[in-house]
Amino acid sequence: MEGGKDMLPDLTGYRHAIPWFHDTVQAAPEECGDRSVEESKEEPMSMTRRALAGSIATAALIASCTFASAQTVELKVSHYLPPNHTFQKELVRWGEELSEKSGGRLKLNIFPASQLGPVNRQFDLARSGVADIAVGLHGATPGRYPTTELVSLPYVHPKAGDNSAVTSKRLTELAPKFLAAEHAGLKILWMAVTNPLMFHTSKQKIATAADFKGLRIRYAGEQFAQIIPALGAVPLPVPPAETQDGLAKGIIDGATFPYEATQSFDLGTVVKYSLEPGVSTATFAVVMNPAKYASLPDDLKKLIDTTTGPARAEAFGKVFDEGEKHGRQYMIDKKVEITKLSDAELANIKKTLAPIVEKASSTLEKEGKPGKKFLDAYQK
């Protein structure tokens, strides 16, 4: 580029979009009159030429802004779950919705199965910007999200029910007030709560509380770390993707999962017994890097906002609930024996686990956190 001329943008295409541009350019020669080129070079820039320069600069700015807003934004999404999991399917569906509503300007590039990092690193991937959006399991980092983990206490759920549509929506509604502080460095898009997790065992059938004694049970989350030993079993922190292998090799005797997850991780091939009802739920959060969100054009920010939140959580929960039904049928098809605790045994187990609920909320209150208020609000 050798002269100022080449530095000026070609604005020919904006003549119709900017009506005054064409008129100003055409009028410029007339304003110059019959003066020679040499004479005009020596005189100060005329008002018309100043106006023309300003017009060109304004048009260039408009062109630049128009180009920037029309660029495609691709958000990198990370999660640890397998490609056949409900989360993967729903993220793909959400991505299609974003693309359609933005005219192709906003897209999701999804990395499942821990491609960007393990289960316990998902939240930090979003914090650091390695991922723009991530799906994190709170139970993978016990104690780091203590208020959220109260949801996983035994037999805790809203009065409306313990299905995912109800619990996910309620938790998302409460997140801005009670959970934002412990998710610092993240923008919560929505929360997700599983259906209650059952005990699934490979050898020992569980029919009474006494049957738990000595069993090595895979778990995730601070609450299950207390529930399992309270029942006389031994908690072992095994990553979800390694559970099938652990059961097959006898490293663990059982695991806690909702039915939907047993199908995703194909546990029906190694599990012989499942125990109902479920005891405790697991919580997830779909989170976004705040800086990435702030960098989006206003209309794309609005699109993110309107396709997330409590409504999205409820819709996602309904899909989770449907997946739970399919997962239970999957276990039946795999010849897994499903047993149910008697009313007497269920009452006995609830009594055994009751102190865990009281201890968890009171501990947070002593630390200055609204444990009881949050738990009361969640269970309304």
Of 276, 142, 283, the residue nearest 201 (C-alpha): 276
Domain CATH number, residue 329: 3.40.190.170
Total Cβ atoms within 10 A of residue 65: 11
Q: What are the pLDDT digits (tens) for 121-147?
A: 999 999 999 999 999 999 999 889 999
CA angle 121, 123, 126 (to 5 degrees): 110
148 contact partners, CB below 8 Å, separation of at least 6:
138, 171, 179, 182, 191, 283, 285
Strand order in the sheet with 254-257: 234-236, 216-218, 254-257, 197-201, 273-280, 337-340
Greater confidence (64 vs 332) lies with 332
> In whole numbers, what is the pLDDT of the chain averaged over residues?
86
Residue 221 pLDDT class (50, 70, 90 cuts): confident
Please give the share of the chain, as a percent, with pLDDT higher than 90: 77
Confirm if 182 and 160 have CB atoms less than 8 A apart. no
Residue 28 lies in a domain: no
Residue 157 lies in a domain: yes
The whole-number average pLDDT for the span 231-250 is 95
Residue 103 lies in a domain: yes
Are 307 and 191 in a shared domain? yes
Are 169 and 143 in a shared domain? yes
Phi, psi of 170, rounded to the nearest 5 degrees: -65, -45
Phi, psi of 367, rounded to the nearest 5 degrees: -85, 5
Please give the share of the chain, as a percent, with pLDDT higher than 70: 82
Are 128 and 251 in a shared domain? no
How many distinct structural domains can be found in the chain? 3
Domain containing 151: what range?
72-195+283-321
pLDDT score of 14 more than 60: no
Confirm if 378 and 170 have CB atoms less than 8 A apart. yes
pLDDT score of 26 more than 90: no
Are 340 and 350 in a shared domain? yes
Among 70, 85, 114, the domain boundary falls at: 70
Q: What residues are paired with 280 via a beta bridge?
A: 197
pLDDT at 55: 53
Are 79 and 138 in a shared domain? yes
Three-state SS for 66?
helix
Of 108, 105, 62, the residue nearest 88 (C-alpha): 108
Q: What are the pLDDT digits (tens) for 283-303?
A: 999 999 999 999 999 999 999
Residue 1 lies in a domain: no
* Separation between Cα atoms, residue 333 and residue 40, nearest integer Å: 91
Among 22, 53, 70, the domain boundary falls at: 70
pLDDT at 49: 55
Residue 223 pLDDT class (50, 70, 90 cuts): confident
pLDDT score of 158 more than 90: yes
Instruction: Determine which of 175-179, 192-196, 226-230, 238-242 has the lowest per-residue pLDDT on average.
Output: 238-242
pLDDT at 58: 52
Residue 274 lies in a domain: yes
Residue 56 lies in a domain: yes
User: Can you give the pTM of this predicted structure?
Assistant: 0.78
CA 20 from centroid of its chain's CA atoms: 48
Are 56 and 90 in a shared domain? no
Q: What are the pLDDT digits (tens) for 40-96?
A: 444 444 555 555 455 555 544 444 444 444 689 999 999 999 999 999 999 999 999
Give DSSP secondary structure letters for 211-261.
GGTT-EEE--SHHHHHHHHHTT-EEE---GGGHHHHHHTTS-SEEEE-HHH
User: Amino acid identity of 339?
Assistant: T
Cα separation values, 330 from 114, 195, 272, 323, Å: 25, 16, 13, 10
Three-state SS for 193?
strand
Confirm if 163 and 266 have CB atoms less than 8 A apart. no
pLDDT at 361: 87
Residue 7 lies in a domain: no
Residue 52 lies in a domain: yes
Of 126, 120, 173, the residue nearest 151 (C-alpha): 173
Are 245 and 339 in a shared domain? yes
Are 314 and 328 in a shared domain? no
Are 147 and 272 in a shared domain? no
Strand order in the sheet with 283-288: 106-111, 73-78, 133-137, 283-288, 187-193
Are 139 and 269 in a shared domain? no
pLDDT at 220: 79
Are 294 and 351 in a shared domain? no
Are 271 and 361 in a shared domain? yes
Q: What are the pLDDT digits (tens) for 191-217?
A: 999 999 999 999 999 999 999 999 999
* Separation between Cα atoms, residue 191 and residue 370, nearest integer Å: 19
* Separation between Cα atoms, residue 351 and residue 314, nearest integer Å: 31
Q: At what angle do helices 343-366 and 371-378 cross, to 10 degrees?
A: 140
